[in-house]
Every structure is written in structure tokens, then in C-alpha cells.
Structure 1
Amino acid sequence: MTETSKAERKDQEKQRGPSVLKVMQSILAGAFGVQSDKRREEDFSSHSPWPYIIAGILFTASFVVGLIVIVNLVLASQ
């Protein structure tokens, strides 16, 4: 691939926004604290922060609900 086509593809990706998989990877990497500087810069340079905000809220809510379910299961088995 030429440098021009790589640059054009990156511009098209910025206009479309991040894919669901990319957002999920960023959220999980951020949650575990292992996100690279390169990925973080890509995330912050994206078109809109809303996909990351919504995914972060959903991840946090599902994590808390999961913890509550696990604790209730453990306490119920005693």
C-alpha cells in the first residue's frame, strides 16, 4: 500500500468513527490500565467522544451488576 492510500484510509476511519471492536478494546484496556500511548492518542483524536462515554458507562454498570450478582451467589451458598 502506498503512503497516500494509508493516509486516505485513516482519514476515512476518522470520518466514520471508531468501530465497536476498537471502542471495546480501548475501554477494556483502560479499565485494566494497560492502554498504550499510541492507542490513547488515537482515541482522543477520534471524531466524537460519545462512543467511548457510552461504552464506559455500560461497562461500569455491567461490572458493578456482575459484582453484586457474584456476592449474592456467594452469600446465598453459605
Structure 2
Amino acid sequence: MDDPVDNKPPSFWQMLHSVMAAAFGVQSGKNRARDFTHGKPSHFVILGIVFTAVFALTLFGIVKLVLHLAGI
């Protein structure tokens, strides 16, 4: 299923997993080989930008919530 020699492009969930793993620095060599062999760079760039925006907005929301609850 996740064999890097498989000629299918990675699914959305596989790409999302790869982007999240790469963001935290824990991408496996097998998945990286699959992504570089069969993935389209534009898909990973777009998904990476969306992931970064959602991650930053989530952190912003958590900080706002904590500050609100602390009465600041």
C-alpha cells in the first residue's frame, strides 16, 4: 500500500501525513522516497502553506483563549 515503487501518486491523506511529519522533522525515508518519486511538488507546496496557516491560526487562537481566561 505505501510501497515507494508503486506507480500511484500519493493520496491526499498520505500527502497530509508527509507534510505534518516533515513540519515536525520526523519524515521517514520510505515516505520521502515515495513523495519525491510520485508526488507533484505543487501539491505539497499548497498543502504545506495551508497546514502552516492552520497551525499558526490554531496557536493564535489558543494564546487568545488563554489570555482571555487569565483576564489579561
1:26 is matched with: 18
- Per the alignment, residue 68 of structure 1 pairs with 60
Q: In structure 2, how many angstroms separate the alpha carbons of the residues matched to 1:67 and 1:21?
A: 23
- Could you tell me how far 1:33 is from its partner in structure 2? 1.3
Which secondary structure does the structure 1 equivalent of 2:27 belong to? coil
TM-score (norm 1): 0.75
The structure number with the bigger radius of gyration is 1
Matched with 2:37 is 45
Query: Matched residue pairs, number?
Result: 66
Determine which structure has the larger helix proportion and give its number. 1
In the superposition, the TM-score normalised over structure 2's length comes to: 0.80
Residue identity (%): 42
Does the 8 Å CA contact 2:18/2:27 hold for their aligned counterparts? yes
Alpha-carbon distance between aligned partners in 2 of 1:72 and 1:36, rounded to the nearest angstrom: 35
Classify the secondary structure of the residue corresponding to 2:16: helix
Separation of aligned partners in 1, 2:27 and 2:39: 19
1:47 Cα shift?
4.6
